[in-house]
Chains A and B, each alone.
Chain A
Amino acid sequence: MKRKLILILKTFLFLILLGGVLVAVMLVTERKTSYMKNKDFFEEAKKDHLDVLFIGSSHVINGINPLDLYEEYGITSYNLGGHGSLLKESYWQLIRALDYCKPDYVVVDCFMMDRNYEYIDEMYEETPEEFRQAAISQLHLNMDAYPLSKLKMAAVKDLVHDPDIQKQYLFDFIVYHNRWSELEQKDFQKLVGTSEYNMLMGAEMKHELEEDITYSYEYDNEARLPEHTVCEEYLMKIIDECQRDGIGIVLTFLPFEGEPQDFQSANSAADIAANYGVPYINMLQMGDVIDPRVDLSDPGHLSTTGARKVTNYLGEWLTQNADLPDHRGDAEYSKWDELCADYNKELRDKSVSYRQLSTQLNLLSLGKTSSILYLTEDSPALQDPWFRHIVSNLSGTDRIEEAAMNHQQYFLLVDRASGNIYEAVDYEEVENMSTSMGEMTYVPIEKRFRLLYLTSDEENNFLYDDDHLSDDIQLITYDNDSGEILSHIYCESSHNYEIDE
């Protein structure tokens, strides 16, 4: 009897140990993207810190920055956008999120409302297999972080048709055990709770400007979706849900390079908003919210600067219409201040040094550092309309066009502390520029030689370039307050503005 008892105890102990190890293995092998995206959501929701939730697709993830919203307006929010998320997925995202918090407002982006299929693993009959696989993979971002529950099961069943594929959302180890061969340090850090996570309250900023984008469309005010779609149905469900729970709701259509079906969606969303009496902000229709050449990272997604403009627009709207509290200065929300400080530091670091000059110049427009830009008269960049546009956006003038037209050297100094902006074209001199580095003077001497020095120290030429004769662009960044030089970058613009690390 005693032996039997010992055997039973030993078996239980073994099973407990085995179970513990397997749980640890599951935590380590799990793909961390969903955890990283949602960690702060669970924490802030628990503290009842979230006044606004943003839901939608990657347009939302890249287009709305809760930290900008907090810094400028004191509004606390979370970005629950999902890559490739249709309104049906957004609906379930919202329902799950409402299990954890009750926000004052929900902002729903209506992109892809034209999609008229029930299941992400089926889509349309003619949809290529890789699209289906991408959607199946992307849904994990929304799902994995949420513990198994009846609600999660209902969501999975509603979104995914194939019972075998459904299983991978309910027990994701089915998929992730294969990650054993690609584990990194951060995967193991999950065990001690110190792994990296999203520091932008769910948002992801796209700093890089990938191409020169100009709107090629003319917005069609009359276009409407030809049939009632599944996504329209779920938009209505979202509105119903919010209205039932007494949550304010705003519909949006964030800006990007739209196509005919997007105008149909945008206008049909307007009809739904009107029917339900809910506000609707259609930025696709508004030409002036963003400058697509610098505010779109790619045709579909906003860049960091574009996200700031869109976020500020929504911040203004919410401030004027939503009566939300300003949490800035409230000690309970100190974490938000810390995250803002971290984000600003990241922007400053990227403004000081980035692998691509055009992107760096655009980031400089955020004003985290001051800058000095010099282009030689034969610089190919001067003949690049997109580059000139980026510089114009930074300087606020069109003087670079003058230099380009006449193949003349160009000088720009943007001093953030004083707000002074100085420009010079050709052999124009600028004396006694007031900057946080001190008073400075710019004197172009000849094609390959020009002087930029502190008026008090004429010996030290900041634009000396004998070691960089092939480089046609120089960029100096310096601290807004102390004037300390942070970086001096030389770039050969014919090399696609790429900067050697």
Chain B
Amino acid sequence: MQLVSFQFLIFLPVMALIYFLVPAKLRYIWLFLISWGFYLSLDLRGFPILLFTSLSVYIGARVMEKLEGAKRKTVLGIVVISNLIILALSKYSGLTFLSAVGMSFFMFMAIGYMVDVYRGDLYAEKNFLVLSLFISFFPQITSGPIERAGHMLRQFRDPHNFSYDRMRDGLLQMMWGYFMKMVIADRCAIIVGTIYDNPVKYAGTATLIASILYTFEIYCDFGGYSNIAIGCAKVLGFDLMKNFDAPYLSANVQEFWRRWHISLSSWFKDYVYIPLGGNRKGKVRKYINILIVFILSGIWHGANYTFAVWGLLHGIYQVAGHMLTPVREKLCEIFKVKKISFSHRLLKIIITFMIVNIAWIFFRVQDIKAAVYMVLHIFQPAPWFISKGTIYELGLDRPNVLLLFAAIGVLIGVDIANKYGICISEKIKTQGIWLRWLIYIAAVVLIVTCGIWGPGYDAAGFIYQNF
């Protein structure tokens, strides 16, 4: 069962109803059963891996807690390395029997838990079902957010009662997620696929548009999933961490990584960057640490070396950003640029967007040669691609292309509002009932009619589920 499926839309209210009917102290058992059932329906073959991870961290943490000194480290090492070996073998050696849906996510959550216990930030969880539930909680198991045990375990132990407001907020967030995924991401994917599959056939502007649409596709795909997962958890009374926060409105790459896939970035920061020394050991070491973290992040995303190049690019962006700060400051001073002006800020956002956009090309292509071709061609203008209507011949007709651009416009508008602290859903909630209902119903109608789904569409295709 996928989060974007009819089955899920029937499954969620039924399981939620039962969940709230079960006594609060026993709810985690119901959730645990549902989560394992959900996973079994997704990936029966991968279940032993999930079981191994759950058992290894449960036993490892309990044992480690009773030990002291180097022995603790040994246990931590055994558990972490054994999980990482399975992850690496599955991803990079092609041993498919070792692969499991969402393993990169649940293993990172489990490793995070082990490290937290090792550091003494958490007590080892005594209840196996609660810990397993943390690792396999169904809304987040396939694509995150990569939650922290400290944040989730207490919520499972002490769940909220039913709240109408939470349910409504959760459903609204899910709806926004479905909009991002089905209306934008899957629509972008059609044009992106057409051009990326055969970039030589198309003019430079087409390549540029394809790369920009892919930049939105991956955001709406993953961000959409995160919103569905977070909204779904909210319906059940759980708070999951925010995973995306208007990332394409960032003014530099550093800010981008504070807003993009926040749960993964912060995981790398807490469990890799800081243990490596962070910025405490001088500039050179800091830059090396940054490069290590981003290369690892790239490798985490996939076995192909293009992912590592993508990570390396982001590492270089960050290091270069740090190193060039004095130069930028000096230039601003010479040309008397007002750094707080709108135009300066906008320029920085556009530049950041474009360099992130270029990096996504490496993320999408199969080999570096294709990526280089794409990068070289996006700057060769061919405006007739738009004026002659070629854009309507890439798998989407005119109404669909116009809808796509309108939807991206809505997305940008909502992100801008969010960035300035205006929550659109909160604004809607303050409207009169008829306008509110009109908006809700219109949104549902838009998603079910204009969403890309049905025959020929593989609902299983969340990009981040592969990682």
Residues of A that sit less than 8 Å from B by CB = 7, 10, 14, 17-18, 21-22, 25, 29, 164-165, 168, 173-175, 177-178, 180-182
Q: Is the CB of A181 within 8 A of B454?
A: no
Q: From residue B433, how far is it (CB to closest CB) to chain A in Å? A: 8
Q: Is the CB of A180 within 8 A of B455?
A: no
Binds A, one of B335-343, B352-360, B443-451: B443-451
Residues of chain A contacted by B400 (CB below 8 angstroms): 181
Does B441 interact with chain A (Cβ within 8 Å)?
yes
Residues of chain B contacted by A22 (CB below 8 angstroms): 444-445, 448
Q: Is the CB of A168 within 8 A of B455?
A: yes
Does B437 interact with chain A (Cβ within 8 Å)?
yes
Q: Is the CB of B449 within 8 A of A165?
A: no
Q: Is the CB of B441 within 8 A of A181?
A: no
Does B164 interact with chain A (Cβ within 8 Å)?
yes
Among A10, A17, A180, the most chain B Cβ lie within 10 Å of the Cβ of: A180
Q: Which 5 A-B pairs have the closest CB atoms?
A: A181-B399, A174-B454, A180-B449, A177-B449, A21-B441
Q: Is the CB of A177 within 8 A of B437?
A: no
Residues of chain A contacted by B455 (CB below 8 angstroms): 164-165, 168, 174-175
Q: From residue B457, how far is it (CB to closest CB) to chain A in Å? A: 9
A168 to B6, CA, bound (A): 13
Q: From residue B338, how far is it (CB to closest CB) to chain A in Å? A: 46
Q: From residue A177, how far is it (CB to closest CB) to chain B in Å? A: 5
A89 to B448, CA, bound (A): 31
Q: Is the CB of B448 within 8 A of A14?
A: no
> Which of B397, B437, B450, B454 contacts A17, CB < 8 Å?
B437
Known contacts A168-B455, A175-B455, A181-B400; A14/B437 CB under 8 A: yes
- Contact flags B411-455 to A (C-beta < 8 A → 1, else 0): 000000000000000000000010001001100110011110111
A20 nearest CB neighbor, chain B only: B441
Known contacts A25-B449, A180-B449, A181-B397; A14/B440 CB under 8 A: yes
Q: From residue A262, how far is it (CB to closest CB) to chain B in Å? A: 32
Q: Is the CB of A18 within 8 A of B449?
A: no
Q: From residue B332, how far is it (CB to closest CB) to chain A in Å? A: 48
- What are 16 A-B pairs at a CB distance below 8 A? A14-B440, A17-B437, A17-B441, A18-B440, A18-B441, A22-B445, A25-B445, A177-B450, A177-B453, A177-B454, A180-B399, A180-B449, A180-B450, A181-B397, A181-B403, A182-B399
Is chain A's binding surface mostly helix, strand, loop or mixed? helix
Residues of chain B contacted by A17 (CB below 8 angstroms): 437, 441
Q: From residue A121, how far is it (CB to closest CB) to chain B in Å? A: 11
Known contacts A14-B440, A181-B397, A181-B400; A21/B454 CB under 8 A: no
> Which of A7, A164, A181 contacts B164, CB < 8 Å?
A7
A22-B445, A168-B455 provided; 17 other pairs, C-beta below 8 A?
A14-B437, A14-B440, A18-B440, A18-B441, A18-B444, A21-B445, A25-B448, A25-B449, A164-B455, A168-B454, A174-B454, A174-B455, A177-B448, A177-B449, A177-B450, A180-B399, A180-B449
Q: Is the CB of A178 within 8 A of B164?
A: no
**What is the total number of residues of chain B having a CB less than 8 Å from a CB of chain A?**
18
Known contacts A17-B437, A168-B455; A29/B449 CB under 8 A: yes
Q: From residue B282, how far is it (CB to closest CB) to chain A in Å? A: 58
A175 to B453, CA, bound (A): 8
B450 nearest CB neighbor, chain A only: A180
Residues of chain A contacted by B397 (CB below 8 angstroms): 181
Residues of chain A contacted by B433 (CB below 8 angstroms): 10
A14 nearest CB neighbor, chain B only: B437
A164 to B403, CA, bound (A): 28
B397 nearest CB neighbor, chain A only: A181
Q: From residue B41, how far is it (CB to closest CB) to chain A in Å? A: 15
A172 to B441, CA, bound (A): 21
Q: From residue B181, how far is it (CB to closest CB) to chain A in Å? A: 15
Residues of chain B contacted by A173 (CB below 8 angstroms): 448
Q: From residue B461, how far is it (CB to closest CB) to chain A in Å? A: 14
A164 nearest CB neighbor, chain B only: B455
Q: From residue B395, how far is it (CB to closest CB) to chain A in Å? A: 13
Q: From residue A265, how far is it (CB to closest CB) to chain B in Å? A: 32
A4 nearest CB neighbor, chain B only: B164
B165 nearest CB neighbor, chain A only: A7
Q: From residue B215, how far is it (CB to closest CB) to chain A in Å? A: 25
Residues of chain B contacted by A180 (CB below 8 angstroms): 399, 449-450
Q: Is the CB of B440 within 8 A of A178?
A: no
Among A7, A25, A175, A177, the most chain B Cβ lie within 10 Å of the Cβ of: A177
Q: From residue A242, how far is it (CB to closest CB) to chain B in Å? A: 35
Residues of chain B contacted by A182 (CB below 8 angstroms): 399
A21 to B399, CA, bound (A): 22
Residues of chain B contacted by A14 (CB below 8 angstroms): 437, 440
Q: From residue B167, how far is it (CB to closest CB) to chain A in Å? A: 9
A181 to B455, CA, bound (A): 17
B 126-172 contacts with A by CB, 8 A: 164
A136 nearest CB neighbor, chain B only: B455
A452 to B444, CA, bound (A): 69
A177 to B450, CA, bound (A): 7
Q: From residue B402, how far is it (CB to closest CB) to chain A in Å? A: 9
A7 to B163, CA, bound (A): 11
Residues of chain B contacted by A165 (CB below 8 angstroms): 455
Residues of chain B contacted by A18 (CB below 8 angstroms): 440-441, 444
A168 to B454, CA, bound (A): 8
A182 to B455, CA, bound (A): 18
Residues of chain B contacted by A25 (CB below 8 angstroms): 445, 448-449
> Which of A7, A10, A178 contacts B454, CB < 8 Å?
A178
A174 to B397, CA, bound (A): 19
Q: From residue B168, how far is it (CB to closest CB) to chain A in Å? A: 9
Residues of chain A contacted by B445 (CB below 8 angstroms): 21-22, 25
A21 nearest CB neighbor, chain B only: B441
Residues of chain B contacted by A181 (CB below 8 angstroms): 397, 399-400, 403
Residues of chain B contacted by A21 (CB below 8 angstroms): 441, 444-445
A164 to B7, CA, bound (A): 13
Q: From residue A480, how far is it (CB to closest CB) to chain B in Å? A: 47
B451 nearest CB neighbor, chain A only: A177
Residues of chain A contacted by B440 (CB below 8 angstroms): 14, 18
Residues of chain B contacted by A7 (CB below 8 angstroms): 164
A173 to B450, CA, bound (A): 12
A17 to B444, CA, bound (A): 12
Q: From residue A314, how far is it (CB to closest CB) to chain B in Å? A: 38
B454 nearest CB neighbor, chain A only: A174
Q: From residue A165, how far is it (CB to closest CB) to chain B in Å? A: 7
Residues of chain A contacted by B444 (CB below 8 angstroms): 18, 21-22
Among A14, A17, A164, A178, the most chain B Cβ lie within 10 Å of the Cβ of: A178
A7 to B164, CA, bound (A): 8
A175 to B449, CA, bound (A): 10
